């Protein structure tokens, strides 16, 4: 394996930005300093550019089966899109059917994920609770190193779970010293409103938004905070979208509860007004939770700034506009989800760092370090001696416009179409190998690894 010397970069470390060099040996960060020298290395000139840790996106859904077909990206196209945007590690999901054997579900997902060019982990979604469930979950942890789990409080007709099941799962995850990611939306509120609107003939995408009010999220976050108090389970609340949600997390942290939270770029860039557009535009924003008000959006930015929200992840789950999103007039049947794994760092850099809402270090923490720490992705997420050399040469001078025509994601549209952005991942190094540079992949080099077995120390 070739050694690398990245020279004259603005190196973004945990708390600082230092002008210096990084020596990469055997795929690891070997030395950080000024005027480093080493024989027989490949030299990369990073003058005028930032060097940041490879991004970690802990919330993506590649190749997700739904009644409208699979989400657009499989593990190859999705991971390539991730790499092109500076994300070198992602975490996807194993979501078994209600009665499916858990081990078989993991095996199936592992075989689907083989083509990935980025490194990855898998969260597991328990969907039932019976006398055998604790053993099933402990076995996954032993065999695959799975320590992060995900449950849905919405979607009870499918994968969502009842409170009794939730409490047992939280108790079990706490025993494993794992972490439980939770989709917080109250299913009963949503189903009540959906049925009411459909009865009244109100079926346009606007009613998708109106059937999932802020209260559905607030009720569920409030519940999960209480349940965390009772069970001691570490909890990660996915895609927080409301001001009160942020406030509940802030208070829970003040109370010393082990609660972490994420939001997503779409909640930071758009608000509910988009649902008042014509079908073809509005339907692109059918995902859950839905976009909220300007006040909610400001609270999300404030939550990122003051550390209440720990992570910006994408919930990447795009469906084509033609043939998937546009075939159902009834909003309850439109597949939920949107894409963004490719644009996460760029959007947060443009709309967070360059607007002075976030420092460059906060940007790196939210997109790289925090998700790696929360989900125990060992040796990733930081520029630190001995860590994997997952590095991104970030060109801050790049200016461009997001367009579906140019994207690596396999989707016929993007909700970010026409948005002007600054900054770009110019070169991406994965475990010491240059896997992507100037919008080209080195297919011989990029080979993703499942990180699940590594770094396991199950109690
Ligand atoms: Zn999701």
Distance 384 CA to ligand 1 centre (A): 30
Distance 20 CA to ligand 1 centre (A): 38
Q: What is the pLDDT of residue 459?
A: 29
Q: How many CB atoms lie within 10 A of CB 255?
A: 11
Distance 192 CA to ligand 1 centre (A): 22
Least-confidence region, from 2-16, 39-53, 157-171, 439-453: 439-453
Distance 335 CA to ligand 1 centre (A): 12
Among residues 100, 103, 76, the alpha carbon closest in space to that of 90 is found at 76
**Mean pLDDT of the residues in the chain:** 96
Q: Rounded to whole angstroms, how far apart are CA atoms 324 and 109?
A: 23
- Taking residues 339-353, report their average pLDDT: 98
**How do residues 369-399 score in pLDDT, each as one tens digit?**
999 999 999 999 999 999 999 999 999 999 9
Please report the DSSP string for 302-345 in residue order.
Answer: HHHHTTSS-EE---B----IIIIISS-SSGGGSPP-B--TTTHH
Distance 152 CA to ligand 1 centre (A): 9
Distance 243 CA to ligand 1 centre (A): 20
Residue 164 has pLDDT above 60, yes or no: yes
Distance 76 CA to ligand 1 centre (A): 19
Q: Rounded to whole angstroms, how far apart are CA atoms 433 and 55?
A: 16
Q: What is the pLDDT of residue 456?
A: 39
Distance 40 CA to ligand 1 centre (A): 45
Q: Is 333 exposed, middle or buried (0-12, 13-18, 19+ CB in 10 A)?
A: exposed
Distance 315 CA to ligand 1 centre (A): 5
Q: Rounded to whole angstroms, how far apart are CA atoms 254 and 241?
A: 20
pTM given for the model: 0.97
Distance 25 CA to ligand 1 centre (A): 36
Q: Rounded to whole angstroms, how far apart are CA atoms 421 and 384?
A: 29
Distance 63 CA to ligand 1 centre (A): 13
Distance 15 CA to ligand 1 centre (A): 30
**In angstroms, what CA-CA distances link 146 with 18, 85, 103, 132, 252?**
36, 26, 11, 18, 26
DSSP 89: E
Distance 286 CA to ligand 1 centre (A): 13
**How do residues 78-108 score in pLDDT, each as one tens digit?**
999 999 999 999 999 999 999 999 999 999 9
Beta bridge partners of 24: 4, 29
Distance 21 CA to ligand 1 centre (A): 38
Task: Tell me the percentage of the chain whose pLDDT exceeds 90.
Answer: 94
Q: What is the pLDDT of residue 39?
A: 86
Token digits of residue 226 = 């209480």
Distance 305 CA to ligand 1 centre (A): 23
Distance 104 CA to ligand 1 centre (A): 22
Residue 452 has pLDDT above 90, yes or no: no
- Taking residues 409-420, report their average pLDDT: 97
Distance 61 CA to ligand 1 centre (A): 7
Q: Rounded to whole angstroms, how far apart are CA atoms 248 and 253?
A: 9
């Amino acid at each position: 394996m070739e050694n690398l010397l990245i020279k004259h970069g603005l190196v973004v470390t945990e708390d600082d930005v230092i002008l210096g060099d990084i020596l990469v040996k055997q795929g690891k960060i070997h030395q950080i300093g000024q005027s480093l020298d080493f024989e027989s290395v490949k030299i990369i000139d990073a003058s005028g550019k930032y060097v940041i840790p490879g991004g970690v996106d802990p919330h993506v859904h590649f190749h997700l089966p739904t009644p409208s077909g699979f989400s657009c990206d499989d593990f190859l196209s999705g991971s390539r899109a991730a790499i092109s945007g500076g994300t070198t590690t992602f975490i996807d999901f194993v979501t078994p059917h209600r009665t499916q054997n858990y081990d078989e579900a993991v095996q199936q997902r592992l075989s689907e994920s083989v083509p990935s060019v980025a490194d990855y982990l898998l969260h597991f979604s328990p969907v039932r609770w019976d006398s055998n469930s604790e053993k099933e979950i402990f076995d996954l942890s032993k065999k695959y190193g799975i320590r992060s789990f995900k449950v849905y409080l919405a979607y009870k007709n499918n994968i969502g779970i009842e409170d009794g099941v939730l409490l047992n799962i939280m108790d079990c995850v706490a025993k494993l010293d794992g972490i439980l990611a939770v989709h917080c939306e109250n299913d009963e509120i949503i189903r009540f409103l959906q049925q009411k609107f459909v009865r009244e003939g109100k079926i346009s995408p606007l009613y998708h938004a109106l059937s999932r009010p802020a209260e559905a999220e607030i009720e569920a976050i409030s519940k999960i905070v209480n349940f965390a108090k009772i069970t001691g389970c570490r909890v990660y609340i996915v895609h927080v979208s409301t001001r009160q949600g942020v406030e509940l997390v802030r208070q829970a942290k003040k109370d010393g509860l082990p609660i972490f939270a994420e939001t997503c770029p779409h909640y930071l860039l758009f608000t509910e007004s988009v649902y008042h557009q014509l079908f073809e535009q509005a339907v692109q924003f059918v995902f859950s939770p839905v976009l909220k008000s300007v006040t909610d959006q400001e609270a999300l930015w404030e939550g990122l700034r003051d550390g209440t929200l720990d992570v910006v992840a994408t919930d990447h789950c795009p469906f084509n506009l033609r043939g998937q999103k546009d075939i159902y007039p009834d909003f309850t049947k439109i597949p939920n989800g949107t894409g963004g794994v490719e644009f996460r760092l760029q959007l947060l850099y443009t709309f967070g760092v360059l607007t002075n809402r976030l420092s460059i270090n906060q940007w790196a923490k939210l997109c790289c370090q925090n998700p790696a720490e929360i989900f125990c992705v060992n040796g990733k997420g930081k520029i630190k001696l001995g860590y994997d050399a997952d590095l991104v040469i970030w060109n801050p001078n790049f200016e461009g416009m997001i367009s579906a025509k140019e994207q690596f994601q396999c989707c016929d549209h993007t909700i970010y179409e026409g948005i002007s952005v600054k900054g770009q991942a110019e070169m991406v190094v994965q475990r010491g190998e240059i896997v992507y540079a100037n919008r080209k992949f080195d297919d011989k080099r990029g080979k993703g690894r499942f990180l699940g077995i590594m770094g396991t120390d199950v109690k």
